[in-house]
Amino acid sequence: MAPESVAHDVLVALRELGGSALDLLYPFECLVCGGADGPARLPALCRGCDLALPRRDPRRPPRIGSGPLDGHVVALELAPPASDLVYQLKYGGAVAAALPLSAALEAAVRALGLEREIDALVPVPVFWLKAWLRGVDHAGALCTELARGLGLPERRLLARCRPTVAQGQARSPEERARQVRGAFAARSPRRVRGRSLALVDDVVTSGATAQECARVLIAAGARRVVLLAAAGNG
């Protein structure tokens, strides 16, 4: 047997042993149900929870309020187990929940071929105090993983100027729009001008937050702004 073949076989055996050792030290556990039946196609999920994810047709996004956004993609219905992942990421400080959410969103974006039309991904910014209290910038974590998956740059081109109450507490679309008016500012207009940008957020409901972010980016010179959201209803 040739030395190269022996060396290859030894390397494969060592990798298998290393993988087995890691499995013993860090056994797989599904983020949603805690089960060990996995991993599935999406990272950090067991096969059952992966199959149970309420995937949306990316060609039929939910309706949102009108504004400067030039389209939006929503990967999942905001229902279990997707809603469990969103809650873990946003309120539980579980950054690992961004992995399956971003993978589902990446699949939806690629199904439309939209990644070829985007220059950079921009996370919807969280007010610094909220991020500190929660222990995670949920949109930032999601954006980082999505940028890695799509091979696109992530740019922090927006700043949140003031805190806003949860959009779910607003009683009407008009009130949601008023709450976020003036809450965002462009960080670097020079890096915005002429770019096709994609906002990234965990959830879209009325779309008021995303429309306000798009308005700020368009005013700073962006050529086009779309929204990529992991989950939504409607």
Q: Tell me the C-alpha distance between 209 and 122, whole Å.
A: 13
Question: Under a CB-based contact definition with an 8 Å cutoff, are residues 107 and 113 in contact?
Answer: no
Sequence letter at residue 34? G
Residue 144 has pLDDT above 70, yes or no: yes
Cβ within 8 Å of residue 74, ≥6 positions away = 56, 58, 61, 62, 108, 204, 229, 230, 231, 232
Band the pLDDT of 175: cuts 50, 70, 90: confident
- 186 pLDDT higher than 90: yes
Token pair in block for residue 182: 């003036």
The pLDDT score that the predictor gives to residue 18 is 45
* Helical axes 98-112 vs 82-91, angle rounded to 10°: 120
Query: Which domains occur in the chain, in start order?
Result: 54-232 (3.40.50.2020)
Tell me, what's the pLDDT at 233?
87
Model confidence at 42, pLDDT cuts 50, 70, 90, reads: confident
Instruction: Tell me the range of 40-49, 125-134, 179-188, 206-215 where mean pLDDT is highest.
Output: 206-215
Give tens-digit pLDDT for 152-164.
999 999 999 887 7
Q: What is the largest CA-CA distance in the chain?
A: 75
Output the pLDDT for position 232: 95
Q: Which of 7-21, 28-42, 91-105, 137-151 has the lowest mean pLDDT?
A: 7-21
The share of the chain scoring above pLDDT 70, in percent, equals 83
- CA distances (Å), origin 2, targets 6, 12, 14, 83, 189: 6, 16, 19, 54, 60
Q: Check whether 22 has a pLDDT greater than 90.
A: no
pLDDT at 165: 64
Per-residue pLDDT tens digits for 89-107: 999 888 999 999 999 999 9
pTM of the model: 0.84
- Beta-strand runs (E) in 69-223: 72-77, 120-123, 158-160, 184-186, 196-204
